[in-house]
């Protein structure tokens, strides 16, 4: 694994915990120099962990949905290290599980601001830096299986992630001839800070065996499993992968709702 990102400079947002922290540690182990962003102070702990493991990282507290913050983290990467080769726009919020009739415009605006506009801002600023440098690059956006079809999140969250999937496709086309690739990752149920209430409730009720039971692997994911896919997209191994949304969900999104039986028969 070592060397897959040797000499590369990577920005990761949402790096204070979960998938972002796992990606930071993995990217660093693969040789990348990191510029980490998160709204919380936990991003500094992630940087400390990277450095303790022998990697190189700097940390900035930013709001991924504020243009000046995103522009600043990209500019900091260029000023400090001369380039941006990888940008992983991973920051996001869930907004709860409110229904169509329970939501407010304020909630929708906030979720779209962070989850969708935040990804666009990274494409805008990191993509421009990559294009100007002329060396290509990889931009990775965190979407969700909730953006593929219903049943995996609240309306606002699901709509925001559907937008991220489309943004990856549109951005790949807009960056035609630049060598900059844009792809999205669509996690299924993953044990992170965002999903902690779900996992805590399952532990309290002693039903953790039911977590992820709807996917063929019958389990939830760990952040490191998503980070591995992000590493693939960041590396040259995915040099011909562009404008795609990759579901990393244990197979959840491969089927419409069915009742599976022990005999192998499927009832629709």
Report the chain (268 residues): mean pLDDT per 10 consecutive residues: 88 97 98 98 98 98 98 98 98 86 94 98 98 98 94 91 98 98 93 58 52 75 95 98 96 76 50
- Is position 81 annotated as part of the catalytic site? no
| The pLDDT value given to residue 263 | 53
**Strands ordered across the beta sheet of 245-248:** 56-61, 33-38, 9-13, 86-89, 137-142, 180-187, 245-248
Structural class in CATH, domain 9-191+221-249: alpha beta
Catalytic residue among 27, 88, 108, 157: 157
Please give the pLDDT value at position 2. 62
């Amino acid at each position: 694994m070592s060397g897959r990102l040797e000499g590369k400079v990577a920005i990761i947002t949402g790096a204070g915990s979960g998938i972002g922290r796992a990606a930071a540690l993995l990217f660093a182990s693969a040789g990348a120099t990191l510029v980490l962003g998160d709204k919380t102070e936990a991003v500094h702990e992630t940087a400390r962990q990277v450095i303790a493991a022998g990697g190189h990282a700097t940390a900035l507290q930013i709001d991924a949905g504020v243009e000046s913050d995103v522009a600043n983290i990209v500019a900091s990467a260029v000023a400090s290290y001369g380039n941006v080769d990888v940008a992983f726009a991973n920051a996001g919020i869930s907004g709860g599980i409110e229904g169509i009739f329970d939501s407010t415009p304020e909630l929708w605006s906030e979720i779209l601001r962070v989850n969708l506009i935040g990804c666009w801002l990274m494409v805008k600023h990191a993509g421009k830096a990559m294009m100007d440098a002329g060396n290509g690059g990889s931009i990775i956006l965190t979407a969700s299986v909730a953006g593929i079809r219903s049943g995996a999140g609240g309306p606002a969250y699901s709509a925001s992630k559907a937008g991220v999937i489309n943004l990856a496709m549109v951005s790949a086309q807009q960056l035609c001839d630049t060598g900059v690739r844009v792809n999205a990752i669509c996690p299924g149920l993953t044990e992170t800070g965002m999903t902690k209430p779900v996992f805590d409730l399952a532990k309290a009720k002693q039903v953790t065996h039911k977590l992820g039971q709807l996917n063929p692997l019958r389990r939830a994911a760990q952040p490191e499993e998503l980070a591995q896919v992000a590493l693939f997209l960041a590396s040259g191994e995915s040099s011909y992968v562009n404008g795609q949304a990759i579901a990393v969900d244990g197979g959840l999104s491969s089927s419409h709702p069915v009742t599976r039986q022990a005999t192998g028969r499927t009832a629709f």
